Amino acid sequence: MIFLRHPVPAVPPGICYGRLDLDIAEEGHAQIERALAATPRFGRIFASPARRCRGLALALAERDGIAVVYDERLWEMHMGEWEGLAWADIPREHAEPWLKDPLNLPTPGGECFADVQRRVIAAIAEAEAGADTAIVCHAGPIRAVQMAWHGLSFRQAFSSTPPYSEPIELSPPQGLRRPAT
């Protein structure tokens, strides 16, 4: 199964944008072209309905002559009251408690990362996605799958950032493991 993070979004650096429905930046169009050249043909494409995912998913679907299936559960983490704020403007007294355990603690008005993991894994399992499947989504859902399928801890999954619009091959284990903490 090939996972692709959306192209670079049109948002200034340092902004918290989990569920904000952003379009792609100008450079994102070239990233889509590179993704088309770097990926095999797909039999199925599942995608987050976010605008920043749609362009890449639709380009792949058009190339391969198939339809995209959008699933709300593939959205990025809901950052609640922090959506659209500069990270530097989020009061430390609010951010520090969450940063101690983002896997299990939700952001104010948002969700925790364990919630993301549950919904993303359920979406992929229900889709019965296979080797000829593309999943076009966000960094958070890709990390959630890495944690569930490959036993990575939260810290390990967040030690690097999935690149924009580059294929990442992930294979589910025979029996899905419980999330590592």
Would you kindly state where each structural domain of the chain is located, as residue ranges?
Answer: 2-169
Q: What mean pLDDT is predicted for residues 57-82?
A: 98
At 175 the pLDDT is 52
**pLDDT confidence band for 123 (50 / 70 / 90):** very high
pLDDT over threshold 70, residue 177: no
Mean of the per-residue pLDDT values of the chain: 93
Crossing angle for the helix pair 113-127 and 139-150, to the nearest 10 degrees? 80
Mean pLDDT of 78-106: 95
| pLDDT mean over 134-156 | 96
What's the whole-number mean pLDDT along residues 91-98? 93
153 C-beta neighbours (distance < 10 Å), count = 13
Name the least confident of 58-67, 75-84, 144-153, 169-178: 169-178
Q: Helix or strand or coil: residue 68?
A: strand
DSSP H helical segments within 68-153, as ranges?
A: 92-100, 113-127, 139-150
Q: At CB < 8 A and 24+ separation, what contacts does 89-96 make?
A: 90/16
Q: Which CATH superfamily hosts domain 2-169? A: Phosphoglycerate mutase-like (3.40.50.1240)
Q: Which two tokens stand for residue 29?
A: 């169009």
Look at 130 and 159; give whichever has higher pLDDT.
159
Q: What is the pTM of this model?
A: 0.92
Are β-strands 44-47 and 68-70 bridged in parallel, bridged antiparallel, or unpaired? parallel
Find tokens 């095999």 and name the residue: 40
Amino acid type, 163:
P
- Top pLDDT among 12 and 175 is at 12
Provide mean pLDDT across the span 14-31. 96
**pLDDT exceeds cutoff 60 at 138:** yes
Please report where in the chains the tokens 């659209």 appear, as a residue: 84
pLDDT at residue 3, as a whole number: 97
